[in-house]
Amino acid sequence: MRNPYEVLGLNDNASIEEVKAAYKSLARKYQSEDYSNGPLSDNAQKKMDEINEAYDTIISSSGSSAKNQQSYYSDTSHSSYPDVRSLINRNKLEEAETILDGIYITQRDAEWYYLKGQIHHRRGWFDEARKAYSKACELDPSSQEYSAALNSLNNAATGGYRTSRGNSSSGCCSCDACDICSSLLCADCCCECMGGDLIKCC
């Protein structure tokens, strides 16, 4: 294995705080949608494995408990769902969700909700991802992995978010009467500016 400090882009004299900061920065980069949803997903996962190994090596050698200093973004060493995590990392979301949905409601723990949130997050269903992450944090408030995911979602400058599914079963667009009225009023204003009048009563 390469020098673990070199893997994290640090010199050998870096402090534990610097190690943690470097790890978080790299984890965010290689877990971002730019890598997870594209042709570089396999390379990104290999890079994350190397980063996790380097981080654990440094933490272990520093005398800290490796169990309490788990990697935040891709920890499978103590996971109850390593197969689901592997599928999510390979962007096989349908297969991962099938496994999760097959678990009885009474057996769904904090990690279950976190992984469900990961699936929603990758699909762009940010409202449902937030609910799942929040439930995971509620069930296990001590988990840094779950809180990091929720904080990352809350702090992301998404410019809005998509809902998980359309509200209409007929396949029609999800706009409502208010949207139509607003559009008509805007069109009327534009017509009046040009000397016309789309809506006579306004």
**Each residue of 17-42: b (16+ CB within 10 Å) or e?**
eebbebbbebbeebbeeebbeeeeee
pTM value surpassing 0.95: no
Task: Please report, for the domain that includes residue 63, its CATH number.
Answer: 1.10.287.110
Distances (CA, A) of 151 to 62, 127, 129, 133, 145: 28, 14, 12, 9, 10
Residues 174 and 168: beta-carbon distance below 8 Å: yes
**Total structural domains in the chain?**
1
> Is residue 181 assigned to a domain?
no
> Is residue 51 assigned to a domain?
yes
> Is residue 38 assigned to a domain?
yes
Instruction: Walk along the chain (202 residues) and give the pLDDT tens digit of each residue.
Output: 689 999 999 998 888 888 888 888 887 787 666 665 667 777 877 888 888 888 878 877 765 433 343 343 444 446 678 888 888 888 889 888 888 888 888 888 999 999 999 999 999 899 999 999 999 999 999 989 899 989 988 886 444 444 444 444 334 444 444 455 556 565 666 555 556 554 555 5
> Is residue 19 assigned to a domain?
yes
> Is residue 69 assigned to a domain?
yes
For residue 15, give its domain range: 1-78
